[in-house]
Amino acid sequence: MKFFIDTANLEEIRKAKEYGLIDGVTTNPTLLAREGADWKKQMELICKEVDGPVSLEVIGLKADGMIEEARELVKYGPNVVVKIPMTMEGMKAVRHLADMGVRTNVTVCFSAAQALLAAKAGAAYISPFIGRLDHLSQRGMDLVEEIVAIYGNYDFETEVLVASIRHPLHVVEAALAGADVATVPFKVLFDLAKHPMTDLGIESFLTDWKKVFPDG
Ligand code: E4P
């Protein structure tokens, strides 16, 4: 399973990279807006910082506009994946971009029907937003399981990129469901490593060692 980091913050990307666990980056307009005014420079720096795929999202809602934006976005680097919203206009853009050889990530997906359309259109990734579904008392992971099953039935090449992740259990359940990618917020990446029994285990080993070898 691949791990992407869900951020537009360079410090977070650099720190996460140090651990060698990050295969790519996803951004969105909210995350980029949070980083300040020079979003173009920010996108350029992110694409240079990361070897793997970097999702950059279009703002337009019409297919022609999305395609124009995509032509500009891919100039930021060979690793750019153009994020396209899950609409019929978006699907038109995805098909066109796939035919041009541009990889796309279909975003704000909330149903298996939408995911089926995205795969038919030739998306490289589908992004089901599971945290936002959970907030509506609808189990987001059910959607991931449905998409994985449907794609498996027809050998679609579209990768399932689980998005809107809130905590480590989302990552574990996404892995159990057979999702290809989890895009994790910076904090969740570190939460994945935590367990109080691990801390206690390390502490007791060191205590025992120091009893016999107090000088280290
Ligand atoms: C994914 O690519 C999105 O950027 C992200 O996961 C959105 O999730 P949110 O619900 O945390 O905004």
**Mean predicted confidence (pLDDT) in 164-177:** 98
- Residue 126 phi, psi dihedral angles, 5° rounding: -120, 135
Of 83, 194, 210, 211, the active-site residue reads 83
* 205 pLDDT higher than 90: yes
Average pLDDT over residues 147-155: 97
Nearest CA to ligand 1 atom 12: 164
Backbone angles phi, psi at 91, to 5 degrees: -65, -35
Ligand 1 pocket test, candidate residues 4, 23, 27, 28, most atoms within 8 A of CB: 28
**Atom 5 in ligand 1: which residue has the minimum CA distance?**
164
| Ligand 1 proximal residues by C-beta, below 6 Å | 6, 26, 28, 107, 127, 129, 131-132, 163-164, 183
Instruction: Please provide the average confidence, as pLDDT, over all residues in the chain.
Output: 97
Between the alpha carbon of residue 31 and those of residues 8, 98, 116, 169, the distances in Å are 6, 26, 27, 23
Who wins on pLDDT, 11 or 215? 11
- pLDDT of residue 37 exceeding 80: no
Give CA–CA dist 31/99, Å, rounded: 29
Domains of the chain: 2-212 (3.20.20.70)
User: Which residue from 25, 164, 187 has its CB within 8 A of the most atoms of ligand 1, so it is best to mutate?
Assistant: 164
Looking at the predicted structure, is the pLDDT value of residue 32 above 90? Answer: yes
pLDDT level of residue 216 (50, 70, 90 thresholds): confident
pTM: 0.96
pLDDT the model gives residue 179? 98
- ipTM, 2 dp: 0.97
- Per the annotation, the verdict on 83 as an active-site residue is yes
- Mean pLDDT for the stretch of residues 55-76: 98
- Is residue 75 over pLDDT 90? yes
Average pLDDT over residues 90-116: 98
Pair of tokens at residue 12: 């977070």
Residue nearest to atom 9 of ligand 1 (CA): 164
